[in-house]
Amino acid sequence: MKIQESAEMYLETILILSQQKEKVHSIDVATSLKFSKPSVSVAVKNLKENGYLIMKEDDSLILTDKGLEIAEKIYERHQFLSDFFILIGVDEEIAIQDACKIEHDLSTETFAALKKHILDFKKNSTK
């Protein structure tokens, strides 16, 4: 289930915003991503048409199960990679930016191997 990086970014942003506020609207996404409202409207339309989100009567955005699955996957990668880069000494702001670039392109296999290696390393270093 591979979708475009931009779609993943929109879904991840909606997930993050939904953790911070009760209702997420297109303007919230536009503000967060620093994109124009028309650009976000087009993206939201495409995400709705492909079954990744729904728009309620009050124009709030809700991720479908399909959209939530992708958003959570990307957000987990983002958090994990950011933490890893900070752990190895990268400045926090740079670590977050780099994680955002990598999270979309890293294969599932490579991410799983990296995650396993780091978790094993942490487990063994606390013994």
Class of domain 73-125: mainly alpha
Helix axes 5-20, 26-33, angle to 10 degrees: 110
Tell me the two tokens of residue 67: 């959209």
pTM: 0.86
Burial class (CB in 10 A: 0-12, 13-18, 19+), 63: buried
Over residues 12-70, the pLDDT tens digits come to 999 999 999 999 999 999 999 999 999 999 999 999 999 999 999 999 999 999 999 99
Topology at the third CATH level for domain 5-69: Arc Repressor Mutant, subunit A (1.10.10)
**Residue-by-residue DSSP string for 108-119:** HHHHHHHHHHHH
Would you list the domain boundaries of the chain? 5-69, 73-125
